[in-house]
Chains A and B, each alone.
Chain A
């Protein structure tokens, strides 16, 4: 699949500390991965702008094959930025239904549109209850995001 997919509506988008945040999806705080329902038992997975920013300029991206099994907390791909290759961690368990080939061909898409055309994986959930452990309440998401931005700024991980 290479389609761009719908991004968040204007009403769902916020700016927090200079970073965009979409409130129409769930987040896994430790990995900066988001999950959005895309149908019955289907989700789209992507990386939030803070995760992108702390990665540096994205150079290469590898994603699993269609049909591959995802396990929450385990690698679901690899990302290279600033000559550093590291794993992308799956926030949920499931089976890969599609990967965003446009993002694989042009990882810059993830930087330019992390909540829309820069999605990474579409998967069928095998453990839907895992979503319950993610941040989904807009106020909680916003508070977590603001705190993480402040923490990163304090440590110098992102520009002040």
Chain B
């Protein structure tokens, strides 16, 4: 049996804690469950292991945007009432121990559902649900005790500016570039949410060969929701696991979608670079290098379209600061998550 629960429109906190409670329930023996929820207002949500410092908490507070840390993966995201969330939760033994395989099995029915409602979606080579080269569904997954849960969303409208603004980005050039890439590579697919919900139910029931049956939370799951409400509202939970200091040249990196990211780094007091990377190539580079007599501008032009692996050839022309920036960029690519 595939239990199907539609939580409807719920407060932001509950739009997270309800489905986490389902995961604990499935872990304890409840049937595989497909659930839906729509937040009643905007908020920000952080992946389980992500650094809380990636968000501009002052801005979030000033704009009454609650921030919660979820127990599945992925980055910091802005969510609001124009997004319908769905979650598929199954016993951990149901899916492959190989995570790429597990993710494919958990996400392919969502692709089927998008297509059923007329959106020409596909699961791309990076495991993202896309329309053309644009991401149309944010997703994350995790194992919670003995259950595996994957969540995603139907984005009916997307506030790219707000999604960028909630991020802690000290460099205005990087903020602008992040917003530009987000507008280019993340898009909404306004479609009938009821039809999408029905299509998802059919697709997941078919994929897992289970009969879809409307259901509700058990008494134990309701108790779990209350505990999770408290846990997710605790500042210590939001702070997340202790983090190790990274190696030297860190900089600030923002992933827009798989293969699309921005990076801002600095060498010394005044040599600075903001780079936008699209599928392994530098899409745009802004260099600030006072005292280099126009060399930086020439380098910016020379770097556009260059594969990341060859950035060092060009940046090396700026001497030691350029070489350090090239190393920082290579480090950033290695850290990409």
The chain A residues found within 8 Å of chain B, CB to CB, are: 54-57, 59-62, 65, 78, 80-87, 101-102, 104-106, 108, 152, 155-158
Contact = CB atoms under 8 A, between A and B. Distances in A.
B50 interface: yes
Interface in B307-337: 334-337
A56 B104 CA distance: 12
A73 B143 CA distance: 15
Given A54-B97, A60-B337, A78 B49 contact: yes
Given A78-B48, A83-B72, 10 more contacts: A54-B97, A80-B47, A80-B49, A80-B73, A82-B103, A84-B103, A84-B150, A106-B335, A108-B335, A157-B97
A84 B49 contact: no
Contacts of A85: 47-49, 71-73, 140-143
A155 B99 CA distance: 13
B101 A157 contact: yes
A5 B273 CA distance: 35
A44 B224 CA distance: 36
A48 B206 CA distance: 35
A156 B337 contact: no
18 contacts: A55-B98, A55-B99, A59-B337, A61-B49, A80-B48, A82-B73, A82-B103, A83-B72, A83-B127, A83-B140, A84-B143, A85-B73, A86-B142, A101-B244, A101-B245, A104-B243, A104-B244, A156-B101
Given A83-B74, A85-B141, A101-B244, A155 B48 contact: no
Secondary structure at the B interface, as helix, strand, loop or mixed, is loop
A108 to B, nearest CB: 5
B243 to A, nearest CB: 7
Interface in B210-247: 241-247
Contacts of A156: 101
A80 B337 contact: yes
B246 A86 contact: no
Sorted nearest first, the 10 A-B pairs with minimum C-beta distance are: A59-B337, A157-B98, A60-B49, A104-B244, A85-B142, A54-B98, A62-B241, A83-B73, A101-B244, A86-B143
Nearest to B139: A83
B326 to A, nearest CB: 18
Identify whether the interface residues of A are mostly helix, strand, loop, or mixed.
Answer: mixed
B244 A56 contact: no
A106 B246 CA distance: 7
A60 B103 CA distance: 17
B73 A106 contact: no
A81 B335 CA distance: 12
Given A65-B242, A87-B143, A60 B50 contact: yes
A118 to B, nearest CB: 14
Most buried by A among B49, B247, B335: B49
Contacts of A87: 143
A106 B337 CA distance: 11
A61 B50 CA distance: 10
Nearest to A77: B241
A15 B256 CA distance: 38
Given A83-B140, A85-B143, A86-B142, A105 B246 contact: yes
Interface string B106-142: 0000000000000000000001000000000001111
B107 to A, nearest CB: 10
B100 interface: yes
A63 B127 CA distance: 26
Among B48, B50, B97, B143, find the residue whose CB has the most chain A CB atoms closer than 10 A.
Answer: B97
